[in-house]
Amino acid sequence: MMKSIPALLALVLVCASCGHRMHWTERAAQDRIMLVREEPPTLGYRRLGHQSISHPDLGRFLEKKGRPDFIAETSAEDRQYLVLYYLASKRAYACRSWRSQPNTIEFAGPYDITSKEVELLQELKKNAADIPDSGIAAGRLLVP
């Protein structure tokens, strides 16, 4: 299953940018590709901070690798998945955690991001820049 997580990016349905703020709850982030921007803070930035507090190993990973440009969150049964997308290196990392083991997280990757995926993410980032304080998720994942 872990090897297919970065492939979810290929299933992104680009949504039109909306002007309202979304809550940074898990429900709002579910099945979304989210821009990670500190100022003004986006949903992706807030979710990444929340996940880092919940999973200290993720915080240490981010200290080493830096903050990703985008994240995606999804879940299945007891498992939660977080994918970290780094545009400059064209790489993604997948993280898996369990609701029953709240402090445990596993990492896989890096995985190559295809040039088409990079192009899509760059377009999402550009579109988000046009709405400076939107805080919105950039795109919606279609999870089979």
Give the pLDDT score at 77: 87
Give the pLDDT score at 30: 63
Give the pLDDT score at 86: 97
Give the pLDDT score at 92: 97
| Residue 26 banded pLDDT, cuts 50, 70, 90 | low
d(CA 50, CA 3): 24
Give me 81's structure tokens: 């998945």
Q: Which domain holds residue 122?
A: 2-141
Reported as a single tens digit per residue, the pLDDT across 114-139 is 999 999 999 999 888 766 554 444 55
Reported as a single tens digit per residue, the pLDDT across 54-82 is 999 999 999 999 999 999 999 888 899 99
Over 60: is that where the pLDDT of 15 sits? no
Domain count, the chain: 1
DSSP states of 70-134:
EEEEEEETTEEEEEEEETTTTEEEEEEEETTEEEEEEEEEEEEPPHHHHHHHHHHHHHHHTSTT-
Give which of 3, 97, 89, 8 is closest to 52, Cα–Cα.
Answer: 97
d(CA 138, CA 140): 7
Reported as a single tens digit per residue, the pLDDT across 97-118 is 998 887 899 999 999 999 999 9
Over 90: is that where the pLDDT of 21 sits? no
DSSP code of residue 5: T
Reported as a single tens digit per residue, the pLDDT across 39-48 is 889 989 999 9
Mean pLDDT of the chain: 77
DSSP three-state, residue 141: strand
